Amino acid sequence: MTVTAAATRSRPRLAWGLAGAVAVLAATALLSVAVGSKSIPLGTVFDALIHYDGRLDDHVIVRDLRVPRTLLGLVVGAALGLAGTLIQALTRNPLADPGILGINEGAGLGVIVAVGVMGLSSPWAYVWFAFAGAAISATLVYAVSARSREGASPVRLVLAGIAFTYVLHGVGRAILLTDTNAFDRWRNWMAGSLASTDPDVLAGILPFVAAGVIIGLALTPSLNALALGEEAGQALGVHRDRTRVLGAVAVTLLCGSATAAAGPIAFVGLMVPYLARMITGPDYRWLVPYSLVLAPILLLVSDIAGRLVARPSEIGVGVVTAVIGAPLLIALVRRRGRLPRL
């Protein structure tokens, strides 16, 4: 059965499923605003949203801290989920992930250089360093893994990505250890966190994430055609190289923005496309929207868990997603011969 026939036959089910996922996302966002390290009555939460009073501490926590944090989680989650879907499609590797392939760590090193070496502090300034780091890291990982007769196989990509991740991780920490002020300022960011108090962070990344999402959505027909094979895709009129370049641009925009805002958060781009593909199958016209919705749900749930487990302190969302994602990666590697169709 072709992708088009399967999608047509299951379209109502997928549409209702996507609507249900959107409803779950809305409920999760509300829960993220209502629940945190400090207990605030639900009535007070709604009062703060509707009738804000800056003289009340609980209102300030809800409106000035939790609402921006939730909005940042929505944007960063969508960016990571879509980036993971695109990179798995472009590499035809179900184990590909912006974190595992070193892209997030490359973007993180770019931010560290901007902050620790260049002395930059504005998201509008250091986001460009994140883009450069993500692009360079992705290029190097693919170039190294492709230098064999088999080309960039799934296992070689993962191994090269993990190796570069550790190298970039070490370089970044070496830079920060030479500047204690930069280290103190960015240690929470390094663990992956949505707890940014800078209102310019979301505004700074939103245009780039929006551009990445638009490109990703526009590429879905081409990705479906290329999934049938490169020759079949070209026969259907798809320009392979242009699709890959645009996909790489979208991944760089999405990963660079998300990492600049929240730090290197791993495994979201791996888990979400895998789960979404179990629902939608290989049709990217549905897989991309599902990834855009499911990824923020996962990220916000992880953030809520991190706030509740360590009350009155909190655990970075990157740590929580790593705890969830590492066992999943092991399970995927163990059943490599039965990975979902891309």
Query: Is 90 exceeded by the pLDDT of residue 44?
Result: no
Among 151-165, 213-227, 291-305, the range with the most confident prediction by mean pLDDT is 291-305
Going by pLDDT thresholds of 50, 70 and 90, the confidence category of residue 247 is: confident
Higher pLDDT, 290 or 180: 290
Confidence of residue 335 (pLDDT cuts 50, 70, 90): low
CA-nearest of 106, 115, 102 to 183 is 115
CA atoms of 17 and 151, how far apart (whole Å): 37
φ and ψ at 160, to 5 degrees? -65, -40
Q: What angle do CA 263, 265, 269 make, to 5 degrees?
A: 135
Residue whose structure tokens are 């370089």: 171
Q: Confirm if 273 and 291 have CB atoms less than 8 A apart.
A: yes
pLDDT higher for 284 or 199?
284
Which pLDDT tens digit goes with each residue over 152-171?
A: 566 677 788 888 888 888 88
Is 149 in contact with 134 (CB distance < 8 Å)? no
Peptide bond into 312 cis (omega under 30): yes
pLDDT class for 200, splitting at 50, 70, 90? confident
User: Which domains does the chain carry?
Assistant: 3-338 (1.10.3470.10)
* Separation CA 195–CA 312 (nearest Å): 14
Is 80 exceeded by the pLDDT of residue 296?
yes
Residues 294, 280 contacting (CB under 8 angstroms): no
pLDDT given at position 74: 95
What average pLDDT does range 280-296 have in this prediction?
92
Q: Give the max Cα distance, the chain.
A: 67
* For range 165-183, the mean pLDDT: 79
What are the distances in angstroms from CA 285 to CA 50, 220, 301, 320, 342?
37, 5, 26, 30, 13
Instruction: Read off the tokens for 48.
Output: 């703060």
Higher-pLDDT residue of 216 and 149 is 216
Residue 109: how many other CB atoms lie within 10 Å: 28
Tokens read off for 195: 């707890």
Highest mean pLDDT of the ranges 7-11, 41-45, 127-131, 215-219: 215-219
**Cα 188 from Cα 246, distance rounded (Å):** 32
Using one digit for the tens of pLDDT, what is the confidence trace for 60-98?
A: 888 888 899 999 999 999 999 999 999 888 877 777 778
Distance, CA of 109 to CA of 164 (rounded, Å): 12
Pair 69, 195: CB distance under 8 Å: yes
- Rounded mean pLDDT, 221-232: 75
Quote the DSSP letter at residue 113.
I
Is the four-CA dihedral 265, 269, 270, 272 of positive or negative sign? Answer: positive
Q: What's the pLDDT band for 338 if we cut at 50, 70, 90? A: low
